[in-house]
Chains A and B, each alone.
Chain A
Amino acid sequence: MRVRLLAVAATFAALIALVAVYVVYFLESGPPAVAAVINRDGSASLTLQVVGSYGNHPFPDWVSYLVKDPSGKWRHTTIWKLPAHELVHVTVYQFDSQTGLRNNFLAQVRGTVGGVATYTDVGNTGKGSGLPPYNNTSLSVIPPSEPAHTFTVPDLDLSVPLVGISDSTSNVCAVAPCPMHFAHTTISFSFRTPGAGTYRWQCFVPCAFAFLYGFGGPMQTIGYMDGLLEVA
């Protein structure tokens, strides 16, 4: 009886340990949440970069977002903490090339302060559209052939198309985080956060290379082109 009791206890302990491993290493595994920089006036600054290929383990050829944490270090996560009912100033350094939109509606800037975003080309050797480079240009809509990605939060009706670099550019970054000497566009906009809650954001350009219809892979994986705004 005593031996059997010990055997049952040991089995029970082993099962508890297995459950703990399952919870810690699978269920709770995921990218960390990184807080935006809080400014003196209570507003927040969120600095992001979008890269055509992450360049690191486990999916080096997946397109991805990165975020700069308050210490100034680039972090690979798409879960960002923002203050509630505050203005958020977003700066996106966009290093990926243009893919164009399937739905021209997404060429509009929506939900930002003033309904506009500011665009700047840096180190670009020419725009595919033949138009002159952007130079701190405020726009409410861009040519639908130019976006590489979007930053879209459906719950907030917020959507900003992110202009891609020209296909003819040779100075392309391949490994994140990308230094600023590589060709990129800079997109700035501000929006106001709602009340506390978790809000899903997503890139709405099917940009997952080699995945069926451009969806799948990074498009459906939090940490790459899909993420959460944790507003508190």
Chain B
Amino acid sequence: MESAALPVNRSKGAAPSFLGQLLGFNVIWAVAFAIVGYIVAHWLGGKIGANIAAEQNPGGTDQDDIAILLGLFGSIIGWMLGLGFFNYPLKRMLGRAPSLHEGVDSSTWRYFRLCTDHKVVAMQYLVATLFFFFVAGLNAMFIRTELTSSNATLFPAGNYLTLVGLHGTMMLTMMSAGVIGPLGNWLVPIMIGSRRMAFPRIESLTMWLTVLAGFVLLSATLLGGFPTGWTGYAPLADQARAGIDSYLVSFLLIGIALVLVGINILVTVVTLRAPGMTWNRLPIFVWAMVTTSILAVLAAPVLAAALYMVMSDRSIESTFFISSSGGSPLLWDELFWFFGHPEVYILALPGFGIVLEILPVFARKPLWGYRMAVAGMFGVALMSFMVWQHHLFMSGINANLRPFYMFTTELISIPTGLIFLNGFGTLWKAKIRFTVPMLFCLAFFFNFLIGGLSGVFLSDVTSDVVTHGSFFVMAHFHYTIMGGLVFALMGGIYYWLPKMTGYTINQALGKLHFWTMFIFFNLTFFPLFAAGMLGMPRRVSSYNASLHTLNVFVSIMAFCLGLSMLIFLGNLVWSLVLKRERASDNPWHSKSLEWQIPTPVPSYNFEQIPTITGDPYGYGLPEAPVVDFGRRGAVAAGEAGA
């Protein structure tokens, strides 16, 4: 537990001068040092690689992978050096006193450097993940533009695979951090009554590693691209040009960041809960973060190991995935999907948490089946490690294993179904307020239901034989990830951003964004089920001319979907940058702890560590106090507008 009193040195410090900020450790120096780090390490790698002749290397790629990989690792060290991540351990080695309070002041510069204020880190995460989300979305627009023709006409055909790979990898990696980064880091400490995360410096490190991962992935375009899509299958990854090195290092960084952020959230929730914040009172969003963190901590190290193995195949003559030298390409499939399927739930579980957190607020009813929801999320987390081989039904696995994995995959729909029961139970006979966040949450159920039902066809071995590798699969996972996670994330952003930024978000533009996004999302992806059943393959820019009309229609709808995202972006710019209307402390009349503190939230969160006295979903129980802030007095449920 934290000390209840506000430490003297925790108040926001005065900002140093502009010159002082500029010359201090910040992202400008990080970029400069990363470039220097790359050049130095690349030179060193070139010297080492010169002694390994290409013909001696069974996994050789006729390129200097040692130099490129070392260069990328050198840029990571330079990046961390420029941001000041080595200062703390160096100071500790020199005997200086530790500080939990680094880079926290009132200046705008705190957003461009290492900062231990979890709210600053969360805002950094939000901007970074949205930036990469839009970059990946732009690639999706280019993909759809190319598919308006049944032949590769717009871009050189060799670039199409890289385009698909960049879109997929960036969406998957950045969306892994899309909720746990901004919302997890911002909300978890406040929701449990803490002033900070357990490891504030590691929290900042995960954010800056995620940013670097995005740019390293983009650097693949300078190195010839990569042909593997987001799955990086061997032996294609062993054969690919140097762009795959960017993919490997980028994914490795994300894997490390996922493990660290998972450990940080788990330790924070276990050790820093306020008095009275029992496990039974833990907000459902925090439970979602806990289960997501468990998945991240257990699954991501396997991915990191597999990525390292490909790197060593490409650079130092190991043969993990080269069958002619005793390795096995199927080993990559196993290791990747052991991470890859839990990764799907690393994306889905935060969505469950957001939706179940928001529903009671706008249904004005307690969350129905709180314990069932927690059990459902743990059930999903546990079972997600038992289904990964359904991705390998067509990869030559032992046929006797197929029924088992078909069964477990179909079984996972039960804990997932519990989440639907919780949602519908909460909505039952409720007086629903159709606010923008609520609309996104309701759309989540619609989309995720279609995604889930189509998933049954893919879990079934016989139908998977037909649909595997087609646009049917593509439509399915877009319904679960975009229709699920991204809709939930949008709901979460509209819901919490007024508290996070202190400014209201325009609701009229928000509703326009919702309806355009919902309609055009469905018009984009639903026809792709049909395209898949008609034989439209994934990852190729040429397709049968009979599918041309369908693809043109889908592309037009996709462009409209892209426009809806521009409405969202315009709304953020209008509301947060141009208009800047102050938000009230609790505009949604929520009973959750984060809404009971002032807006904008002070850097220390709470003057005194609060005492939790009720559950956050006690709508309809006007006498129940939620929290005792000590000197500020208790906030009763009635005040929260039950």
- Name the one of B155, B157, B322 contacting A28, with C-beta atoms under 8 angstroms: B155
Known: A197-B151, A213-B235, A222-B156. A62 touches B577 (CB 8 A): no
Q: Chain A residues with Cβ under 8 A from B241's Cβ? A: 216-217, 221
Residue with the greatest number of chain B CB neighbours at <10 A, chosen from A19, A26, A197: A26
Pair A211/B578 contact, Cβ less than 8 Å: no
Q: Can you sample 27 A-B contacts with CB below 8 Å?
A: A7-B577, A8-B573, A8-B577, A26-B159, A26-B225, A27-B159, A29-B159, A197-B151, A198-B151, A198-B542, A209-B55, A209-B62, A210-B61, A211-B61, A211-B62, A212-B59, A213-B324, A215-B239, A216-B238, A217-B62, A217-B239, A220-B158, A221-B224, A222-B158, A226-B158, A228-B152, A228-B157
Pair B240/A216 contact, Cβ less than 8 Å: yes
Residue with the greatest number of chain B CB neighbours at <10 A, chosen from A28, A62, A79, A220: A220
Pair A27/B155 contact, Cβ less than 8 Å: yes
Known: A210-B54, A210-B57. A27 touches B151 (CB 8 A): no
**Residue A4 lies at the interface, judged by CB distance under 8 Å to chain B:** yes
Tell me the smallest distance from the CB of A20 to a CB of chain B, in Å: 12
Known: A5-B578, A213-B235, A216-B239. A30 touches B159 (CB 8 A): yes
- Name the one of A4, A26, A31, A198 contacting B577, with C-beta atoms under 8 angstroms: A4
Q: Chain A residues with Cβ under 8 A from B235's Cβ? A: 212-213
Residue with the greatest number of chain B CB neighbours at <10 A, chosen from A26, A28, A62, A216: A216
- Name the one of B59, B61, B221, B322 contacting A26, with C-beta atoms under 8 angstroms: B221
A10-44 interface code vs B (CB 8 A; 1 in, 0 out): 00000000010011001111110000000000000
Main secondary structure of the interface of B (DSSP, over half): loop
Pair B578/A210 contact, Cβ less than 8 Å: no
Q: Chain B residues with Cβ under 8 A from A192's Cβ? A: none
Pair A211/B138 contact, Cβ less than 8 Å: no
Pair A217/B542 contact, Cβ less than 8 Å: no
B522-562 interface code vs A (CB 8 A; 1 in, 0 out): 00000000000000000000100000000000000000000
* 3 A-B pairs with the lowest CB-CB distances in the bound complex, closest first: A216-B239, A30-B156, A210-B54
Known: A209-B62, A210-B57, A213-B235. A220 touches B227 (CB 8 A): yes
For chain A, residues 188 to 232, give those with C-beta under 8 angstroms from any C-beta of chain B. 197-198, 200, 208-213, 215-217, 220-223, 226, 228
**Residue A131 lies at the interface, judged by CB distance under 8 Å to chain B:** no
Pair B62/A61 contact, Cβ less than 8 Å: yes
Cα separation A26 to B161 with both chains bound (whole Å): 13
Q: Chain A residues with Cβ under 8 A from B158's Cβ? A: 30, 220-223, 226
A residues contacting the other copy or chain, number (CB 8 A): 36
Pair A198/B153 contact, Cβ less than 8 Å: yes
Pair A212/B54 contact, Cβ less than 8 Å: no
Tell me the smallest distance from the CB of A71 to a CB of chain B, in Å: 23
Q: Chain A residues with Cβ under 8 A from B573's Cβ? A: 8
10 additional A-B residue pairs with CB within 8 Å, beyond A4-B577, A27-B155, A212-B58:
A23-B142, A26-B225, A27-B159, A31-B156, A209-B55, A210-B60, A210-B61, A210-B62, A217-B62, A220-B158
Main secondary structure of the interface of A (DSSP, over half): mixed
Q: Chain A residues with Cβ under 8 A from B142's Cβ? A: 23, 27
Cα separation A228 to B157 with both chains bound (whole Å): 9
Q: Chain B residues with Cβ under 8 A from A215's Cβ? A: 239
Tell me the smallest distance from the CB of A3 to a CB of chain B, in Å: 11
Cα separation A79 to B159 with both chains bound (whole Å): 14
Cα separation A216 to B237 with both chains bound (whole Å): 9
Pair A212/B238 contact, Cβ less than 8 Å: yes
Q: Chain B residues with Cβ under 8 A from A79's Cβ? A: 156
Pair B577/A211 contact, Cβ less than 8 Å: no
B581-610 interface code vs A (CB 8 A; 1 in, 0 out): 000000000000000000000000000000
Cα separation A184 to B501 with both chains bound (whole Å): 71
Cα separation A226 to B151 with both chains bound (whole Å): 16
Closest B-chain residue to A31, C-beta based?
A: B156
- Name the one of A8, A31, A62, A223 contacting B62, with C-beta atoms under 8 angstroms: A62
Pair B60/A27 contact, Cβ less than 8 Å: no
Q: Chain B residues with Cβ under 8 A from A208's Cβ? A: 62, 239
Cα separation A180 to B450 with both chains bound (whole Å): 64
Q: Chain A residues with Cβ under 8 A from B159's Cβ? A: 26-27, 29-30
Q: Chain A residues with Cβ under 8 A from B61's Cβ? A: 210-212, 216-217
**Residue B359 lies at the interface, judged by CB distance under 8 Å to chain A:** no
Closest A-chain residue to B322, C-beta based?
A: A212
B125-159 interface code vs A (CB 8 A; 1 in, 0 out): 00000000000001000100000000111011111
Tell me the smallest distance from the CB of A63 to a CB of chain B, in Å: 11
Pair A200/B240 contact, Cβ less than 8 Å: no
Tell me the smallest distance from the CB of B548 to a CB of chain A, in Å: 12
Residue with the greatest number of chain B CB neighbours at <10 A, chosen from A28, A62, A198, A215: A198
